[in-house]
Amino acid sequence: MAASSAAGHHADIVRGVVMEYEISLLGRQLPLAAIAEALLAADPAALLDVDGGRALLRLSTCLGSRELRRLLGEAGLAVSECDLRQLPSVCCGGCGG
């Protein structure tokens, strides 16, 4: 039963809408390994990187903002609603998504 539950969760992620977020890192400690591990466990297709020039953590994930903030907090990066900037969609619809 656990396998079907996990497969169902993965299927939901594959069909989900991908959102892009930015978080300012100014004055923050970044537990990057813990964040990457938690994020990829929740969304295997997620992407994250650090823009050192602008001191930003950039994320692309199917997770909603509330779930992402909870996950980041559990990984050691407390993020308020104001700290999480959701970027506008860049989807042109050309791939049918």
Digit-coded pLDDT (tens) for 20-48: 999 999 989 999 999 999 999 999 999 99
- The whole-number pLDDT of residue 96 equals 62
Domains of the chain and any CATH numbers: 16-86 (3.30.70.100)
Torsion angle defined by CA atoms of residues 58, 60, 62 and 68, in that order, rounded to the nearest 10 degrees:
-10
- The whole-number pLDDT of residue 17 equals 82
- The whole-number pLDDT of residue 14 equals 42
d(CA 58, CA 35): 12
- Using 70 as the pLDDT threshold, list the residues of the chain that sit under it: 1-16, 91, 95-97
- The whole-number pLDDT of residue 47 equals 96
- The whole-number pLDDT of residue 36 equals 97
